[in-house]
Amino acid sequence: MKTVVLCSKKMSYDGLLDFSSLSEEVDVYEDSENVAERAKGAEVLITKENPVDRELISRLPDSLKLIVEAGTGFNNIDIKAAGKRGILVCNIPAYSTESVSEMAIAFLLMCSSSLGQQMRMIERGDKRNFSEYLRVSHNEVFRKTLGIIGEGHIGSRVRDVALALGMDVLVYTRTPKEDREGVRHASFEELLKQSDYISLHCPLTEKTRHIIDEKALSTMKKTAFLINTSRGALVDEEALIRALKEGTIAGAALDVQEREPLDPKSPLFDMDNVILTPHIGWKANDTRKRLLSIIKENIEAYRRGEPVNVVNRLELR
């Protein structure tokens, strides 16, 4: 069986992953160019966040039977078009729970302690925090309220760590669970109004695109921070920039951006109340090894005739 891996550099930027174990024949490409040509004779296609739209799917060879998205989100793939051609689409759920939830908590603590601002001051040669009274805010998260939008694997892990830190947690989700000590399920508007920190952990769909827009930002506390380790397009980035400039909210920590890579001229790079990272939440060494292991498990399950993690069963003809 032949497997084609696209965008390998995203997964193995340091060369530590060995894709050769995925099947008998594996072609590995660092980019996502000439997909239809490269997929000739292949039965499995591995993608990583690169667009696989209806037009591309129409040009894929008849030999292709399985597309594995090497990640949790699969909004980059037209799963209906794949289903009409009888192509299974699988994702890799929960592989990055530990890494991404740790990233969200790190952002939370950095925002509360103004760590990013203090580091920027030192970079500018401003050492007044060491010789004068502290010139930035410095707060505990204890008894503050964390609003979590989305309560899947990652959102649930962030919730549990926040409880361990002594925080109160509000949750907004499509399928509310029972409240318990320290955790209350709330409406979207109530969560926006009451939260000191808001962390996004929902998939990107047509319903969730720009769920944080100008109206949502204006509903948040002026002292609140927005944390996004999920998908950049959950946030209307232009509205967020305006809100940050005008002091509508206190700040933001973003591991994902609406357009990646982020434009080098983006004002987000120069804002003292913003922490930016280049979508690294899932890129820890342990996480990427787990990713490759689950990709292999998906392929093996497909070969046994017992496919797992299929996201387009309803679309298959």
Active site residue 128: no
Catalytic residue among 231, 288, 290, 315: 231
| Helix, strand, coil percentages for the chain (3-state, nearest 5) | 35, 15, 45
Choose among 19, 6, 151: nearest CA to 69. Answer: 6
Quickly count: other Cβ atoms within 10 Å of residue 53's Cβ.
11
Set 128, 260, 300, 313: catalytic member: 260
CA distance 265 to 259: 13
Q: Could you give the CA distance from residue 313 to residue 89 in angstroms, rounded to a whole number? A: 8
Q: How far apart, in whole angstroms, are the C-alpha atoms of residue 231 and residue 279?
A: 9
Residue of 120, 159, 279, 290 marked active site: 279
The first and second tokens of residue 187, run together, are 């409406």
Q: Is 201 a catalytic residue?
A: no
Is 135 annotated in the active site?
Answer: no
Instruction: State residue 156 phi and psi, 5-degree precision.
Output: -65, -40
Active site residues: 231, 260, 279
